[in-house]
A and B are shown apart, each in its own frame.
Chain A
Amino acid sequence: GAGVSQSPRYKVAKRGQDVALRCDPISGHVSLFWYQQALGQGPEFLTYFQNEAQLDKSGLPSDRFFAERPEGSVSTLKIQRTQQEDSAVYLCASSLGVSGGAGQPQHFGDGTRLSIL
């Protein structure tokens, strides 16, 4: 496929469990972003990678959230000891250029809908 791929599409977990969400960006895209979208809201920035380097993690809500992109392609967002307030759609986006290329658009995946019981 040519687009950004995210898995799983849906994830249900019990409070306190750890979860891992995967993102496969468009091939060759240098920049990768994670966003959190609560119900009825716009997406909110979590973190940004340029290749394997995590350049901005200012949006991560707590130290329970961790993201990595070890080889500069696939990325994983991990949430430890999940809480009910973590329930949201997690969107991944990728962009072609270095440093996000401010004028370059971000291409979004379909997201992972996380529900914490």
Chain B
Amino acid sequence: AQSVTQLGSHVSVSEGALVLLRCNYSSSVPPYLFWYVQYPNQGLQLLLKYTSAATLVKGINGFEAEFKKSETSFHLTKPSAHMSDAAEYFCAVRTGGGNKLTFGTGTQLKVEL
């Protein structure tokens, strides 16, 4: 079964600092991986997706993620955090033959002045 693990349920960074949110996946087949962001009382918004085209994926709002098969990781990064980045971030996996998303438990990002 496919699954994702997000290390760190809470991450705090200073405004302007690097953001690094970790995601490791478990999949017996090449995975499709996604990062979503959720603001309070809202649904999930897609940040970026990996579908085997390129290992470095650029998304919206300056976020990017790198797929590393050898490490089974798909960590999310942003060079410089902004106050508006404060939200909850979810990593998700879907296999090529399946449809449903399996989400991690989420990482709450706090950005401090």
**A contacts, CB < 8 Å to B:** 4, 6, 31, 33, 35, 40-45, 48, 55-56, 59, 91, 93, 99-100, 102-103, 105-111, 113
Contacts and interface: CB of A to CB of B under 8 A. Distances in A.
15 contacts: A4-B43, A6-B43, A33-B100, A42-B106, A43-B44, A44-B103, A56-B99, A56-B100, A59-B100, A100-B100, A102-B97, A105-B49, A106-B46, A108-B43, A110-B43
Contact of A91 (B34, B44, B98): B44
A33 B103 contact: no
Nearest to A102: B96
Nearest to B105: A42
Given A42-B103, A55-B99, A105-B34, 8 more contacts: A4-B43, A6-B43, A33-B100, A35-B101, A43-B90, A100-B94, A100-B100, A110-B41
B42 A33 contact: no
Nearest to A47: B100
B43 A111 contact: yes
